[in-house]
Amino acid sequence: MLEITQAINENQSEEVLINIFKFTCLVHLDIRSLILYVAKEGDFEQRIAHGVKSKTPLFLSPEFIKEDNEINEAINEISKKYGILHKDVENIVLNEIKQIFI
């Protein structure tokens, strides 16, 4: 966490922050599958897709960002719409992604 705090305080680029986030998730938190979408021009652009066997969409519409009580419904919608395996979609922590967009 110190590394990300220092990078933010130094006004590092978005790319640097994303790389620190990815490293932290994969190495320190031992997350094996990770997809990260970043808000861009009204949609969400995929910036990280690591350890996911299914093809993932490069962009998601805001309609897929749901409230906490709708996460399972959103997982089902994404799985059906994009043909992604349900277990791979479960690895997307929609609540955490939503917090990044705010």
pLDDT tens figures, 59-89: 888 776 655 556 667 667 777 776 666 555 5
DSSP the chain: -HHHHHHHHTT--HHHHHHHHHHIIIIIS----EEEEEEETTEEEEEEEES--S---SEE-GGG---GGGHHHHHHHHHHHHT--HHHHHTS-HHHHHHHH-
Quick: pLDDT tens for 29-48. Answer: 888 888 888 888 888 889 99
Question: Where do the domains of the chain lie?
Answer: 1-31, 35-102
The predicted structure's pLDDT at residue 47: 92
pLDDT interval class at 95 (50, 70, 90)? very low
Indicate the pTM of the whole model.
0.57
Determine the average pLDDT of the residues in 10-39. 88
Interhelix angle 2-9/14-23, nearest 10 degrees: 180
Angle between helix 94-101 and 71-82 (nearest 10): 100
Average pLDDT, the chain: 75
